[in-house]
């Protein structure tokens, strides 16, 4: 609880106003697991490659423009992804809406039956099912193996990246995300 108070105090002292100009202002919020979050000194464009949903409809990251996005690359066969996915589901339930979205994209080929079993087994009931079977988006974004999580600002620029699993429903992770949500659009 005390940690949460410190995180929110940092936001109130002006970190969120500076975010529009310098994404590195997230650095003071990097505590706990978020110490592994690589915050870019300058935001950079995210990938533009198209990917699909379960029904075969085509999507791109531009579909979420206007929202802060937590883009997560995962796969059914990835043990750390199994650990991480429930926290992503919780995060979407708690913060998802007009200002924020968790966008999980399955990396490479994932058998449809395996995806369904994975979602059922781990209680994933809020997240969209998005697929990158040809690894176009993941290759464009420099993802070699999951899990990789990328934070995008409201205009679709990458501001930070974490390689490996994390508890995205933790107070530390939510503080970073809430700071991005509170920041004025670049």
User: In angstroms, rounded to a whole number, what is the distance separating the alpha carbons of residues 118 and 76?
Assistant: 6
Q: Which CATH architecture has domain 32-169?
A: 3-Layer(aba) Sandwich (3.40)
pLDDT at 5: 39
Instruction: Answer yes or no: is pLDDT of 115 > 80.
Output: yes
User: Which among 66, 42, 20 has a CA at the least distance from the CA of 179?
Assistant: 20
Helix (H) or strand (E) holding 103: strand 100-107
DSSP β-bridge partners for residue 70 = 102, 151
Q: Where are the domains of the chain?
A: 32-169
pLDDT at 22: 58
Which region among 44-53, 70-79, 84-93, 177-186 has the lowest average model confidence (pLDDT)? 177-186
Residue 186 banded pLDDT, cuts 50, 70, 90:
low
Q: Is 132 helix (H, G, I), strand (E, B) or coil?
A: strand
Give residue 43's pLDDT: 87
Comparing 2 with 112, the larger pLDDT belongs to 112
Residue 91's nearest CA partner among 106, 73, 103 is 103
Q: What is the mean pLDDT of residues 45-74?
A: 97
- Higher pLDDT: 41 or 58? It is 58
**Model pTM score:** 0.87
The secondary structure element, H or E, covering residue 91 is helix 79-95
């Amino acid at each position: 609880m005390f940690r949460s108070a410190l995180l929110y105090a940092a936001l109130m002292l002006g970190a969120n106003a500076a975010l529009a100009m310098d994404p590195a202002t997230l650095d003071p919020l990097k505590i706990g697991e978020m110490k592994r979050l690589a915050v870019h000194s300058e935001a950079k464009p995210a990938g533009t490659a198209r990917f699909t949903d379960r029904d075969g409809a085509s999507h791109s990251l531009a579909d979420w423009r206007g929202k802060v996005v937590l883009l997560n690359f995962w796969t059914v066969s990835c043990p750390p992804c199994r650990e991480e996915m429930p926290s992503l589901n919780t995060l979407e339930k708690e913060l998802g809406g007009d200002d924020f979205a968790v966008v999980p994209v399955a990396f490479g080929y994932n058998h449809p039956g395996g995806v369904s079993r994975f979602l059922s087994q781990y209680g994933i009931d809020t997240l969209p099912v998005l697929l990158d079977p040809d690894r176009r988006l993941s290759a464009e974004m420099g993802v070699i193996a999951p899990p990789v999580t990328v934070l995008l600002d409201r205009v679709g620029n990458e501001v930070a990246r974490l390689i490996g699993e994390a508890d995205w429903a933790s107070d530390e992770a939510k503080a970073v995300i809430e700071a991005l949500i509170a920041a004025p659009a670049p």
